[in-house]
Amino acid sequence: MKKIKTTPLAPQEFEVEQIGENEANIMAYPFETGYAISLAHPLRRFLLSSSVGYAPIAIKIEGAKHEFDSVRGMLEDISDFILNLKEIRFKLLGEDVTEAQINYSFAGPCTIKGSDLSNDQVEIVTPEAPLATLNEDSTLNFTIKIAQGIGYVASEDTYDELEDGFIALDAYFTPVRSATYKIENVLVEDNPNFERVVMNIRTDGQISPIDAFRNSLEVMYAQLAVFNSEISIKAPVTIERVEESPDLKKLTTNIDSLGLSARSFNCLDRSNIKLIGEITLMSTNDLKNVKNLGKKSYDEIVDKVQEYGFAVGADLADDVVTALKKKIEALQA
């Protein structure tokens, strides 16, 4: 009879291919048939709708009363100036800074572009984007309010009440320019019906693709947490590989590190138990049944494992157990 599964295969491989400074491919596999798209599609939605970015939400231009006005000596009228401003992508500097008001002053003749707006409060990630052109007898003074947010916010929703002279702006915060995915078949133990998801993420430079992906995972887990309201939800593993977790590193340490007596160590060693994690995967009965292991040695091993931060028959996270078993299999091969 063929082997019947009771749980789907959990993917273990995760790779990042950096294509450019603001573009990357993120790959995970192997998934059971249909599982890859079930995860990739909502992640794409979260990437496009929930990534945090920065945008101008209001502007005050000296000499201009509304967005259909003009400034003497500036080639662009105010509506074109605002359209150009929205194409410039800002990044506020300083830890936990979510909003800033920045003053600018320019005298012609000059062509103003994104890089001219950089200062100690804000970084411009689109330095070549054009803003305005001034003739030789023109001056341009303006103040921009920049905020942090997600998605798109219409101008009427950015402020309840604005100071005199400010024009509210529609704000497009999303730093993810595109998020696409494709599903490929991969071979697992001669079975070609497993899948790999390859997600391509391109940002505008306010955030890296890998950070955007990490944030979308955090949002996704936070949304799903409501369904686990009565039980504790395990912390999600995001970009960091399971192999890098402190628990796994300790569990894959040789039993030498426990400082056991020679009798206890030899009993484990003769039973081909080499790693501390192998002991934690055993039940108390399994450990008691190790050949020639007496009660004194059993108690010593239990105490030493507890001192190390674990327990015999410990309830470990599923992903840690899977990764630990792979390490043990590789050691025994």
Query: Are 92 and 192 in a shared domain?
Result: no
**Total domains in the fold of the chain:** 3
Asked whether residue 233 is domain-assigned, the answer is: yes
| pTM, to two decimals | 0.64
Q: Can you give the pLDDT at residue 23?
A: 94
Cβ atoms within 10 A of the Cβ of 95, count? Answer: 4
Per-residue pLDDT of 187-241, as tens digits, reads 888 788 899 999 999 999 999 999 999 999 899 888 887 776 555 545 544 434 4
Q: Can you give the pLDDT at residue 237?
A: 46
Query: Are 144 and 105 in a shared domain?
Result: yes
CATH number of the domain that residue 135 is part of: 2.170.120.12
Per-residue pLDDT of 310-329, as tens digits, reads 788 777 777 777 777 877 77
Asked whether residue 298 is domain-assigned, the answer is: yes
Q: Is residue 293 packed enough to be buried (19+ CB in 10 Å), middle (13-18) or exposed (0-12)?
A: buried
Spacing of C-alpha 74 from chain mean position: 42
Query: Are 130 and 276 in a shared domain?
Result: no
Q: Can you give the pLDDT at residue 112?
A: 95
Query: Are 209 and 301 in a shared domain?
Result: no
Query: Are 217 and 123 in a shared domain?
Result: no
Residue 134 binned pLDDT confidence (cut-offs 50, 70, 90): very high
Q: Which of 189, 211, 239 is the last residue of a domain?
A: 239
Q: Which of 190, 208, 239 is the last residue of a domain?
A: 239
Query: Are 312 and 216 in a shared domain?
Result: no
Query: Are 83 and 156 in a shared domain?
Result: yes
Q: Which domain holds residue 166?
A: 54-170
Query: Are 164 and 185 in a shared domain?
Result: no
Asked whether residue 3 is domain-assigned, the answer is: no
Query: Are 59 and 165 in a shared domain?
Result: yes
Residue 259 binned pLDDT confidence (cut-offs 50, 70, 90): confident
Asked whether residue 1 is domain-assigned, the answer is: no
- Alpha helix segments (H runs only) across the chain: 35-50, 78-87, 155-158, 209-224, 246-251, 262-270, 276-281, 284-288, 295-307, 318-332
What is the chain's Cα-based Rg? 29
Closest to 261 in 3D by CA, of 289, 299, 291, 290: 299
CATH number of the domain that residue 274 is part of: 1.10.150.20
Q: Is residue 53 packed enough to be buried (19+ CB in 10 Å), middle (13-18) or exposed (0-12)?
A: buried
Q: What is the spatial distance between Cα 206 and Cα 80, in angstroms, rounded to a whole number?
A: 23
Query: Are 159 and 217 in a shared domain?
Result: no
Query: Are 59 and 140 in a shared domain?
Result: yes
